[in-house]
Amino acid sequence: MSRLPIRGVDVGSDTRCDHYDSELDVVAFRFACCDAYYPCFQCHNAVTDHETVPWPKRRFDEPSVRCGVCDATFTVPDYLDCAYECPNCDAPFNPGCAAHAELYFEVNFETDGE
């Protein structure tokens, strides 16, 4: 299976970008609108011409988060349960990403079965 590229502004080898480049900024998120990975929502907005569509709840069983250190991909539930550490290589992730979770994942969970 070929890997989807990581798009954005000045994306480095560990997925750091022009907007977020601390030692902990080593994760990329897949957006449903264009089926591509970006280090952050600002990168998505900078290089696309459409509105951001976060990863939908109905697709949470598909890989949609990618570690920039080991290139492993995992699901939203695995990412949310990983305590800001890669489940594969233990690289630390930025806990500040939680402040933007609704931009990356559909977080308004409905219980009515849609």
What's the pLDDT tens digit per position in 21-54? 999 999 999 999 999 999 999 999 999 999 999 9
Residue 113 has pLDDT above 50, yes or no: no
CA distances from 109 to 10, 62, 73, 87, 102 (A): 34, 17, 23, 24, 11
Query: How remote is the C-alpha of 57 from its chain's centroid?
Result: 14
Residue 108 has pLDDT above 50, yes or no: yes
Q: Is 8 exposed, middle or buried (0-12, 13-18, 19+ CB in 10 A)?
A: buried
pTM, to two decimals: 0.88
Strands 36-38 and 27-31: antiparallel
- In the chain, the percentage of residues whose pLDDT exceeds 70 is 92
